[in-house]
Every structure is written in structure tokens, then in C-alpha cells.
Amino acid sequence: MNQDKVEKYRAPIRILHWVHTVAFVTLFFTGLVLFVPQLGFLAQDSWTRVIHRIAAVVFIIAPLIYLTLDFKGAVRGVKMAFTWSGEDLGWLKAAPGYYFFGNEKGMPPQGSLNTGQKLWWFIVIVFGVVFAITGLLLWFGRAALSAQAVLWLIFWHDVAFIVSGAMLLLHVYLGVLHPMMTESWSAMASGKISREYARTHHGKWYAEISKSRES
């Protein structure tokens, strides 16, 4: 590996990310035509509903395949999303100054995911489960459920749609456009970032990997 670069995301996780992205964006737009009454005419011949179900299968199966390939890594990743400390509070306090005014001083050193990225990862897991449970019940259980239960399922499916859709816009902005996140894209495209970027953006993680390399 190029000595000036460190690996942030390995190939399997990058493949999962991009497969999941295609599935999610497809689900988002085929869901949108059901959500917005004025777009209902697009769902009339049911093609969008069929596509929604095909994308849903990919959305559910892709992470399950990853789980069978790297169970330990997946468990470690999930633990990361659910482990929060005082440092995360420090990051949340310092984040507006950092992202709006470029003030790096107050930012506590971060792990391989910063607090904001961890929060997105947390939302992806929690709402991924909500999408899957409510969606599968709407798909296969509709006939057996009361009208009120169906309304509740649609309500929670819609909550997940609104929250994760809004957060996705922020995720894409921070990952692709924000002037401070200069190597975010290459982290997910090639898997690698410069040592300097790792040191300044993920100081705690960089210290850990530098130590394990030395020993």
C-alpha cells in the first residue's frame, strides 16, 4: 500500500455501501410516488410497486450476506454505532463551529467514525430494521391485519422514510461537498485516505493504527 495512505474502508464494506445506496435510492423514489398523492399516477400500473419490492429484497439481503462473510467485523461495527461517551457530547458541541466556521480547536480527536458519522450509522441500523419489519408486514401480512394495524405500519414506514431521507441529504452533502471533508469521497470510492487526513479528522483511530503498526 502507498505509505502516505491508510485504508479506511475495505472492499467488501464499500461494495455493500454502494449496493445498499442503489437499493435505498430506488426504494426512496418508488416509495415517493406512493407517498405523494399527486405522483400516484406513476404507480398506477403497479410497476413502481414491483420495483419497490425487488429493491427491498436487495436492501435486506445485502447486509445479511455481509454478516455471513465477516460476522465479527459486522458485530464490531454495530457495537460502534451503539457506543456513546462524553467525547461524543464534546463533538456535538464543537461541530457547529467546525462545520460552519472552520474552527478546529474545540474538536475532540475522533475514532474511525466521527460522532456525526456514528449517528448516521445508528439511524441506518435502527430505521433499516423499522423499514424491513413494517415493509415485510405490509407486503405479506396485509390480509391478516386490521385496517388500524396497517395504518400504524404505514405510519412507521413513513417516519423512517422522512427521517432517513432527510439525513441522507445531509450525509451526501457532508460526504461529497463540504469543504472540510476533502477526502471523504475517496474514503468510500478507493477505500484510502492520506495519513494527514486520518490524523486531523480521525486522530484517535490514527493513533491506534499507528501504534499497532509499530508493535
Q: Which residue has the cell 474514503?
A: 187
Considering only 90, 108, 175, 191, the residue that binds ligand HEM (CB under 6 A) is: 175
Closest to ligand HEM by CB, 6 vs 34, is 34
Distance between CA atoms of residues 63 and 13, nearest Å: 10
CB 214 within 8 A of CB 30: no
Burial of 109 (0-12, 13-18, 19+ CB in 10 A): middle
By the rule CB under 6 A, 6 interacts with ligand HEM = no
In the complex, least distance from residue 194 CB atom to ligand HEM, rounded to whole angstroms: 12
By the rule CB under 6 A, 185 interacts with ligand HEM = yes
In the complex, least distance from residue 91 CB atom to ligand HEM, rounded to whole angstroms: 13
CA angle, 54 then 58 then 60, to 5°: 115
By the rule CB under 6 A, 171 interacts with ligand HEM = yes
Distance between CA atoms of residues 90 and 94, nearest Å: 6
* CA-wise closest residue to 178 among 100, 108, 89: 100
Stretch binding ligand HEM (CB under 6 A), from 19-27, 63-71, 88-96, 102-110? 19-27
Residues that bind ligand HEM (CB under 6 A): 8, 17, 20-21, 24-25, 27-28, 31, 34-35, 49, 52, 56, 59-60, 113, 117, 120-121, 124, 131-132, 135-136, 138-139, 154, 157-158, 161, 164-165, 168, 171-172, 175-176, 184-185, 187-188
